[in-house]
Amino acid sequence: MSFRRYLLLIAVAVFAASGDVCLARGMRDFGAVSVANIGGMLPALLNPWIVCGILLLIGFFASYLTALSWADLTYVLPATAISYVMMALLAQRILHEQVTTRHWIGIALVTVGVGFVAGGPTRTTRPSPDSRDKEELSATAGGGEA
């Protein structure tokens, strides 16, 4: 895999983690919102933290779509699991959240677990419909299955 593709996967993780942390920071300033008063959330769009979070999550979405254009979902999602670590670090530093040892162990287990999944190929090869039809025809012409 090329350096650009690694850079893109890192961008997905960084945009996701930093965008979520910015949204959380902005909503702390804004306060609680309920589903019954969803219209009350519109003024939150004026908060600079929320605007920044939305822009970062748009960057996440664009880089995520780009990654999915050249690799399978089962590769891209696990490969960006480092965002869990980034998010915890950012929440600890920026939001002053208490991240306990139990949380860190859970984050490490998830990250290592998805690392095993990401160890496979970036794109699984699938036979084209034409090649499957040819295989079926040759099997039928040759007397069927053994």
pLDDT given at position 135? 55
User: Can you tell me the distance from the alpha carbon of 88 to that of 66, in angstroms, rounded to the nearest whole number?
Assistant: 25
Report residue 138: phi and psi, to 5°.
-70, -35
**Domain residue spans in the chain?**
3-141
Q: What is the pLDDT of residues 60-78, one digit of tens each?
A: 999 999 999 988 887 888 8
What does DSSP assign to residue 39? Answer: G
pTM exceeds 0.85, yes or no: no
Q: What is the pLDDT of residues 4-62, one digit of tens each?
A: 888 999 999 999 999 999 999 998 988 777 777 777 778 888 899 999 999 999 999 99
Yes or no: say if 124 and 72 are a contact pair by the CB < 8 Å rule.
yes
What does DSSP assign to residue 145? Answer: -
Q: What is the pLDDT of residues 102-133, one digit of tens each?
A: 999 999 998 888 777 666 666 666 655 555 55
User: Can you tell me the distance from the alpha carbon of 103 to that of 98, in angstroms, rounded to the nearest whole number?
Assistant: 9
